[in-house]
Amino acid sequence: MSWQLHDMSERPRMLVLVSRFGHCLNDLLYRHGIGALRAEIPAIVSNHPDFADLAASNGIEFRHLPIDESDPAGKDRQETALLQLIDALAIDLVVLARYMQVLSPKVVGRLEGRAINIHHGLLPSFKGAKPYQQAFDRGVKVIGATAHYVTSDLDEGPIISQAVASVDHAAGPERLAAIGRDVECRALARAVEWHLEQRVFLNGAKTVVFSS
């Protein structure tokens, strides 16, 4: 048996990664601001500059780490800088709040058990572009989201939290996407909260979660 002892008075240090969809980032920052997430957020990292002002308004450092798509080594250099930042800031948990980059095995290996991702619950049925349009075209009746630990198997890591919402024929693609954003926020926030409170235990390909 392996075991760990944690001082719950100490706040884990959390790094948030985001691209151009800010709903999950906004939700996490709000929850952090009201004390619902017991963590320190020393920095927000993005491959785009869009949320620099949002980070500043919350008194959090913003790091823009772009990826030079024209350079074959651009992604590797960006991830090296990311890992260096994680080490320099002594990060305990990395949260991918709609960070739209696939992490390389190099990064995934370093972050095993301490990186959480969120994706819409339409996978694997509706892959690729415009998943909510695809869902509308097929007449889905439930919209969901899954928060999970990051592994080398894309979007297939051990599940921590899921959220769903019922929909009907009256909801068009834009309404489905709006509902999807809400459930993504709920599922991710719950997973992050449980992880920070040491309620989640990895058990092979799945997790055991001790809820309150």
Active site residue 155: yes
Spot the catalytic one: 68, 155, 168, 182. 155
Alpha-carbon gap, residue 32 to 200, rounded angstroms: 20
Contact criterion met (CB below 8 Å) for 104 and 83 = no
Q: How many CA atoms lie within 13 A of 44 on its CB side?
A: 28
Distance CA 49, CA 70 (A): 19
Backbone angles phi, psi at 41, to 5 degrees: -120, 90
In the beta sheet, which residues pair with residue 62? Answer: 44
Q: Are 11 and 39 in contact (CB under 8 A)?
A: yes
Pick the closest to residue 184 from 108, 83, 100, 67 (CA basis): 100
Q: How far apart are CA 64 and CA 137, in angstroms?
A: 37
The rounded distance, in Å, linking the Cα atoms of 81 and 170 is 46
Active site residues: 155
